[in-house]
Each structure stands twice: as C-alpha cells, then as structure tokens.
Amino acid sequence: MTQVTNESAAQKQVFLADVVQGLSQPIKKLQCKYFYDERGSQLFDQICQLDEYYLTRTEQSIMDQFAGEIADQLGIGVMLVEFGSGSSTKTQVLLRHLNQPVAYVPLDISEEHLLKTAEGLRIQFPDIEILPVVADFTKGFTLPVSKKRPSHAAVFFPGSTIGNFEPDAAKSTLTLIAELLGQDGGLLIGIDLQKDPSIIHAAYNDASGVTEQFNLNLLHRVNNELGADFDIKQFEHLANYNEQLGRIEIYVVSKCNQVVTLGEHTFTFKTNERIFTEYSHKYTIEGFAKLAADSGFVLRKHWTDENQMFAVLHLVHQPIKN
Ligand SMILES: C[S@@+](CC[C@H](N)C(=O)[O-])C[C@H]1O[C@@H](n2cnc3c(N)ncnc32)[C@H](O)[C@@H]1O
C-alpha cells in the first residue's frame, strides 16, 4: 500500500504558486524541497558518493558501527518512520538490527524514487511491512496503519536534512515530529557538526560539478513542469560557508542581464543576481539539543565518528508539564 497525500494537479498548482512567489521577492528564492524530482534524487545519490561529500559516508559509518546500540535505544516492536528517506541507504543496517520491527514507513516528496526504493526494500526485508508515504513532511500527514500493531513509533531523520531549515523552521518541523510521536516517542536524527570551514566548503563545491547540476536541476524542473524558459547555461552554482551563522548558503547566479518568462509572469535578472536555493546549517551537539528542547525533546544518547564530523542523536519527546 502506498499513501499519496496530494493529488498531482494540486501539487503542480502549489509548485507554481511557490515559484512565482519566490521569484517575486526582492531577494529571489526557490524552496529546496523542489530539488527532488526523479533526476534530483538521482543527482543527490551521486553527491553522496563524492569524495568531497563527507556527510554520507561519515553518517553511514556511525550507523554501521553503532547499529546494535541504536536499535536497543529504539526498542521492541517499533514502526520506524523515516523523514526524507531518499534511497533509504542508511536505514538498511538499522532494519537488520531492530528488535522485531513491525513496519517501516519511508516518507518522501520524490514520488517515483520513493516507490522504486520501497519495492527494493520489500524484496530485501520480506518480514517487515514497508509502507511508503508520498508527502511533504513540513505539512501534516497521517501515519499508515500496519497489519501488526506496533508497540510505538520512532522517527528516523538522517542526512542532515534538518540543517536545511532555519532555526525557527527546524523547531516547527521538530514540533510536528513531536506531535506525531506523542509522549516518550523517540527521534533518531543525523546532524552535520561544525568543523574546518574549508572541509564544509569543498563538500558543496565538488570538482566534478555534480552539486552544480543538482542545484540547476531546480531550473530544469521549473522549465519542464511549469513551462518556464530559463536558459540554464546562463546560470551558475554558488555555495559559500557563512562562518558567523554556521551554515552553507547556496544560490543559483545569473551570468548576464536576462528575462525569464513563466506563463503570464516575467522575471528580470541582472548580471550576478542570485536566487537563494538552500541552507545547510552545521551544529554542535549541545546547540542542537538546545534547539530540540524547545520542541519538548530531551537528548538521551548520541554517537559520533572519531573526527567529530557528524553526529547521530537519539532524543525522546518529554514535554515539560505545567
Ligand atoms: C538530503 S536528502 C537525504 C536523503 C537520505 N535520507 C539520506 O540520508 O541520504 C533529503 C531527502 O528529503 C526529501 N525531502 C526534502 N524535502 C522534503 C519535504 N518537505 N517533504 C518530504 N521529503 C522531503 C528529499 O526528496 C530527499 O530524499
């Protein structure tokens, strides 16, 4: 069973409205969730293989090394819900170690990629019910009902995806997770840690240009799905680390003065004008625990690699009672 929460014509209207609204701002912006159509998901998988992109292999190594301990923390008979599951690569070691898991719910906005991944997982894990949900995790959605009753649900949110949100939006997403989980629900989340800025900068400016393709894929999507006429060759990728705010800031930059048409709308670009596309916030463990505390989460345990590049945190929802 697959749960699709939005009908696609309605989704397209929302995409159009978001693009028009974003490009009409004094500082133009496009939301990073729109990176992920099938091509975007494939490009992201290629990014994960890059030498410069330490995030994926480091988080995977933490999962591989501590899967047993992490599974113990998550408990028996769980329904594991993964936010932004992508190719569910890091989940597999967890599914192998969990104690009598009842169901796995991969949740992603990138429908085609999610459904293909779910098919593969059904073959690999025939004893775990795989219940994909196509949804935007920043909006409300309901959990699917599994055949066997789980003892509880836990959310897995790897990939440093929470880092794409500014602090207030991150808190809203954590609050949504808290509401989904209820009292004592567990959240296992991957965060990228603050480190030498040159290492971070290289991760988002790879020599082979895959990150540039991924970033520009947003313009391809706007052309292909909404009928805009972006001349993609006339735009380029820019990613800078903002040391003060501890975050990567990613833009698409216009190489010349130009006009882009989208239906009845026209958008003018000056040479070097930017479209903001994504942040990736880098945290300390203490800083993230403080942020999550505002949504009622308490840090139970964390695991990191020997170079302290990345961390996986287990937090439990225990709101303060008035
Ligand atoms: C940084 S990738 C991480 C993928 C995978 N979890 C990993 O750790 O490699 C972010 C994933 O979240 C999904 N995603 C981004 N924004 C989303 C949203 N608002 N709702 C649902 N999925 C979203 C993307 O399609 C993508 O698969």
pLDDT(141) > 80:
yes
84 lines ligand 1 (CB under 6 A): yes
* Ligand 1: residue whose CA is nearest its atom 15: 33
86 lines ligand 1 (CB under 6 A): yes
pLDDT(134) > 60:
yes
Position 6 scores a pLDDT of 47
Domain 54-196+282-317: top CATH class: alpha beta
pLDDT(109) > 60:
yes
pLDDT in tens, 214-225: 999 999 999 999
pTM (predicted TM-score)? 0.95
Q: Ligand 1 centroid to 162 CA: how many Å?
A: 9
DSSP string, 187-230: EEEEEEBP--HHHHHHHTS-TT-HHHHHHHHHHHHHHHHH----
Distance separating alpha carbons of residues 162 and 176, to the nearest angstrom: 13
Position 91 scores a pLDDT of 98
Q: What value does the mean pLDDT of the chain take?
A: 95
> Residue ranges per domain, the chain?
8-35+198-281, 54-196+282-317
Q: Are 81 and 107 in contact (CB under 8 A)?
A: yes
Atom of ligand 1 nearest to the CA of 137: 20
Position 140 scores a pLDDT of 81
Lowest mean pLDDT among 55-69, 173-187, 251-265, 304-318: 173-187
Q: Are 296 and 63 in contact (CB under 8 A)?
A: no
Position 7 scores a pLDDT of 53
Q: Ligand 1 centroid to 161 CA: how many Å?
A: 6
280 lines ligand 1 (CB under 6 A): no
Residue from 11, 15, 33, 204 to probe ligand 1 pocket by mutation (most atoms less than 8 Å from CB): 33
Q: Are 166 and 249 in contact (CB under 8 A)?
A: no
42 lines ligand 1 (CB under 6 A): no
90 lines ligand 1 (CB under 6 A): yes
pLDDT(198) > 60:
yes
Position 133 scores a pLDDT of 97
* Ligand 1: residue whose CA is nearest its atom 19: 136
Distance separating alpha carbons of residues 81 and 98, to the nearest angstrom: 13
Position 142 scores a pLDDT of 87
Atom of ligand 1 nearest to the CA of 36: 25
163 lines ligand 1 (CB under 6 A): no
